[in-house]
Structure 1
C-alpha cells in the first residue's frame, strides 16, 4: 500500500453504500480481502503498518489491527514480527488467475445439464401470490377459520412438544394418514388404509415423484390433452416423452389409450373434473381405463384436485375406489379445500409402491412439518374440515353462477361461458375473430389476469379462450372486474 492509487482505491471501496451497515473493522477486512482476490494487492506485497494505515484512513489503530488479524487467520496475510504484514505468497496467479485477463463470458447452456437446460427453456410454474381477478386455483381465504386453526395448533404444541420439534416420518404423521383415509373412504368412495397414504407438500411434488419412480427418462407417459400444465412441467423436467391423449365431453378418450403404440404404461388423468374442460369421465370409461392399466401392468395417476366442490348432485366416486387391481395412484391436495399456504397434499398408493415412493420422498425433502400435519389431523377429526368444505361449496356455487351471469351480461359477443359442474374456474370460449393473446394483453393493462386456454393444449387444434377463476372473488368483485374487462377489450 505504498502507492496513492491503492490507498485511494481502498478509501473508495470503504465508502461503498452496500457496506454501510457493517461494522468498520469488518468493512476494512472485506475490502482488503477483495483487493487481494482481485490482484490489486499482489502476492508478496507489503501492507502498511497498522499505525500508518489507521492514520491515513482516519480510523483507530485497533480497527485496522483486528482486520489484519482476521485476514491472517483466513490465510490472506502472513505477518512477521519486525518485518510487517504481507499478502500471502500462496495466493499466486494459478489461484487468482491472471489479473489482466478479461473474464470469459459463461454460456448458460454449457453450464447446465441437459435436464437443467430443458427446465430453463420450458420455464417454471408461477403461483398466484395475491388475489387477482381472474387468476385460477385460488380458494377463498378471507373466511378461513384461523381462530379454530390456531387453537388446534396450540393444543398440538402443548400435547406433543417433545416430538413435533424433531424429524418426522417421511410417510407422514399417523394421525393425519388415518384422518385422510377415513375421509376418502367416506366422501370419495375410495378403498384406503392409512398405510397407503403418503403425506406430501403439494400435488406437484406427487407428480414429480411419480415421474421419477415410475417412468425412466426418455420413456413415454400419457396425459390428457388439454391438461394441467403443472403435470406436463413435472413430466418434462424428468425428461419423459409426454404423449397427449384427446379429451371430449365425456372426459379422456380411453379408446386412444388402447390404440397407443408408444409402449407407455402410465397415464395422468383428472376424471372427476377434467382440467380445464370440466368434463367428468363417464363410468364406462373409468372401467375401461382400469382394464387398460391391468392389461398393460401399468399405472393410473388420478389427480382429484378439487372434487370437494361439486355443485350439481353428488360428485362421482373416484377411480381408485373402483380399481380392484390396485393400479391407481390417487393424488389429493388441501391447497384448494383449505388454503395454498398450508403446502399440504398426499398420495394414496398401491401397497407395492408405498416403500419406493416413501424412500424417494425422504431423499427429496425429508418430511412435511409435523406441527401442521397434526393440526390438520385434529381439524379433520373434529369435523371442522367437513364443515368448511360444505360452507365453501355453497359460496363457490353462488360465485360460479355470478361469474356466468356477468360474462353473459358484459361479454356475450366476445366469449361463451361453459358452466362447469364443479371446480374453481370457468372455461370461456372466444368467438370467431377475437385474439386470445390480444385480449390477455388488453386485460393485463387494467390489472386483470385472464389465463389463456390454448396454452393447455399440447397439439392442434387448440381451443382459444380463457379459464377464469371465480372462487377467490365475491359476486360484487366478479361483477366489477367483468365490467372492467369488457371496457378494456371491447
Structure 2
C-alpha cells in the first residue's frame, strides 16, 4: 500500500480573497484530486495541524473539510496511524478521452437510436433566434390581461387548498377539466366529458403520450406533406415510420394516403387549419378519413392548435365531433390563445383508452402541475377567456389584412399568398427558382424571422416559400418589415 511521508506538501491552494469559504476550498481541492486520481487509494494525508501550517490558515476549516470528506467516504481514519485516502476507492483512472470512445472498449458511451434520429445537438435555426416581425407562433403577449391573471394567481397562491399541494389525478385537475369540457362542447363541437380529458404540458407531450400508447416500432403513420416538423420529430423518435401524404386546397389527400399505405397505424392531421399551408379539410375528406380509420382500425391524431382564430367565418368544428367509432384523439393547447410559457394543453381521449393513457402518464410524470389549472378554471368560468379571444380575433384580423396588403403591394406576382383565412401565420409561396432557406437566413441577419417552407417537407420540397407569423407584430410596423423583406428577396 502506497504511503506518502508525513511532511507531504499540500496539493491544494487556497485563496483568501475568494468568496468561497476556506473549508470548502480545502474540501473541493482534495475531492478533485481524488476523482482525478492524483491522490490514489490508501495514500496517507498530512495531519490537519501540519496542513494548516503549510496553507497558512486556521486549523478549524481544515478540520471541517476533513470531517466532510470522511463522512462522504473519500477519506478513512486509522486509529494510531492518521488519515488516508479511502482504500475502497478504485485505483484505475478514467479513460484518457471519454468523449471519443472506441466501440467495445471500457468507457463506451452508448446512446439510444431514438435520440440519434434527431441529430447531434443542432443549434437553433437562424429564423428561430429572435423575437419580432414574422416570428412563427408568437402571440401578442403584450395584449394579455395580466392584471386579471395576476389577481387569479394571487388568489390561489395565498390560500391554496389541499388539492393544489398534494399529489393529483394523472388526468388533471377535475374542476379545470369540467370547465374545459364545457368550452370544447360549445365552441369546438367536441364530443367529450371531463372524464375523457387529460391535461398535458402542450401538444408535444400529447403526441409523445399517444405514441407510447398507440404505436410500436416501425408503425407507419400518415404525415401531412408539408406538415408540422415537431410532430414528425416526436413520432419518429418513438420509432414510427413516417408516410408523407400530400395536401391540397381540401387538406390531406386521403386517397393518396390509402394508395401509399392503406394499413397505416395512425394519421396525424391539422384539419381545421392545416399547418403550414392553412387549408381546411373538406367535409368529404373528413368523412373519407374517418371511414378509412374505422375500416383499417387506425387512429387519428387531430392537432387543433389555433382553430379559435378564424376571420372569414365561424371556427370550423372539430373532426372529432364527427367520429362515431372513437378513432380520434383530439389535441389542443393554450400556447397560442394565451401565452406559450403557460405550458398547458389537453387531449380528449376515446373512453376505452383512458385507463391505458392514465397508466402511461402516471409512469412518465405522475400528474400535471395544479396551480395554473386552478387559475385557468376561473379564467374560463368567469368569462375572461371568451373576452380575450374576441379581442385577439379582431387584433389578428387587422394584422393579417395589413400583412396581405403589404405583400401584394411590395412583391406583387412574385409571391402567392396562402392560408389567410385563419390562425396567426400565412405562407408567401415563391417561384421554384428561389432558395427559401437562404432567404430566411439572410432575413434573420436583418432582424426578420421568416421561416422557410422547405423544412416542412419529409421528401423533396415541391415549392419554396416563407412562413410569416403576424400575431406578435404591431400592425403599424408590418409595412416597413415587408419592405425590408422585399430587399432581402
Is TM-score (shorter-chain normalized) higher than 0.5?
yes
The equivalent residue for 1:382 is: 382
Paired with 1:206 and 1:302, the residues of 2 have a C-alpha distance of 11
Contact 2:175-2:377 at 8 Å conserved across structures: yes
The Cα of 1:38 is off from its aligned counterpart by 2.5
The equivalent residue for 1:102 is: 96
SS at match of 1:139: coil
Contact 1:257-1:292 at 8 Å conserved across structures: no
Q: Which moved more, 1:201-210 or 1:292-301?
A: 292-301
Change in Cα spacing, 1:82 to 1:461, as seen in structure 2 (3 Å) is: closer
> What is the CA deviation profile of residues 82-105 of structure 1, one whole-angstrom value per residue up to 9, with x for unaligned ones?
4332223333xxx13158x73454
The equivalent residue for 2:450 is: 450
Change in Cα spacing, 1:79 to 1:194, as seen in structure 2 (3 Å) is: closer
> What is the CA deviation profile of residues 351-395 of structure 1, one whole-angstrom value per residue up to 9, with x for unaligned ones?
111111122122222222111101101111111111111110010
Give matches, 1:5-84, under 5 Å: 7=10, 9-11=11-13, 14-15=14-15, 20-84=18-82
Paired with 2:255 and 2:204, the residues of 1 have a C-alpha distance of 27
Contact 2:6-2:47 at 8 Å conserved across structures: no
The Cα of 1:114 is off from its aligned counterpart by 1.7
Contact 2:7-2:50 at 8 Å conserved across structures: no
Contact 2:293-2:327 at 8 Å conserved across structures: yes
Change in Cα spacing, 1:123 to 1:267, as seen in structure 2 (3 Å) is: farther
Q: Which moved more, 1:114-123 or 1:195-204?
A: 114-123
The Cα of 1:295 is off from its aligned counterpart by 0.9
Q: Determine whether 1:180 maps to 2:174.
A: no
Q: Which moved more, 1:30-39 or 1:181-190?
A: 30-39
SS at match of 1:191: coil
The Cα of 1:410 is off from its aligned counterpart by 2.9
Paired with 2:159 and 2:84, the residues of 1 have a C-alpha distance of 60
Paired with 2:246 and 2:39, the residues of 1 have a C-alpha distance of 67
SS at match of 1:412: helix
Paired with 1:322 and 1:37, the residues of 2 have a C-alpha distance of 63
Contact 2:128-2:135 at 8 Å conserved across structures: yes
Note the residue ranges of structure 2 that are not aligned, 5 or more in a row. 103-107
The Cα of 1:302 is off from its aligned counterpart by 1.0
Contact 2:453-2:464 at 8 Å conserved across structures: yes
The equivalent residue for 1:252 is: 252
The equivalent residue for 1:219 is: 219
The Cα of 1:414 is off from its aligned counterpart by 4.6
The Cα of 1:2 is off from its aligned counterpart by 5.5
Paired with 1:210 and 1:326, the residues of 2 have a C-alpha distance of 14
TM-score normalised to the size of structure 2? 0.91
The equivalent residue for 2:286 is: 286
SS at match of 2:12: helix
Q: Determine whether 1:324 maps to 2:324.
A: yes
The equivalent residue for 2:145 is: 145
Paired with 1:51 and 1:389, the residues of 2 have a C-alpha distance of 72
Paired with 1:125 and 1:321, the residues of 2 have a C-alpha distance of 37
**Residues paired across the two proteins, number:** 480
Paired with 2:454 and 2:161, the residues of 1 have a C-alpha distance of 50
Change in Cα spacing, 1:199 to 1:320, as seen in structure 2 (3 Å) is: same
The Cα of 1:160 is off from its aligned counterpart by 4.5
Note the residue ranges of structure 1 that are not aligned, 5 or more in a row. none
SS at match of 1:142: helix
The equivalent residue for 1:114 is: 113
The Cα of 1:415 is off from its aligned counterpart by 3.0
Contact 2:137-2:424 at 8 Å conserved across structures: yes
Change in Cα spacing, 1:352 to 1:474, as seen in structure 2 (3 Å) is: same
Contact 1:124-1:233 at 8 Å conserved across structures: no
The Cα of 1:163 is off from its aligned counterpart by 1.9
SS at match of 2:451: coil
TM-score normalised to the size of structure 1? 0.91
Change in Cα spacing, 1:331 to 1:273, as seen in structure 2 (3 Å) is: same
Q: CA RMSD in A?
A: 2.5
The equivalent residue for 2:105 is: none
Q: Determine whether 1:417 maps to 2:425.
A: no
SS at match of 1:368: coil
Q: Which moved more, 1:255-264 or 1:393-402?
A: 255-264
Q: Which moved more, 1:154-163 or 1:477-486?
A: 154-163
The Cα of 1:158 is off from its aligned counterpart by 5.4
Contact 1:404-1:419 at 8 Å conserved across structures: no
Change in Cα spacing, 1:300 to 1:56, as seen in structure 2 (3 Å) is: same
Give matches, 1:200-215, under 5 Å: 200-215=200-215
The equivalent residue for 2:475 is: 475
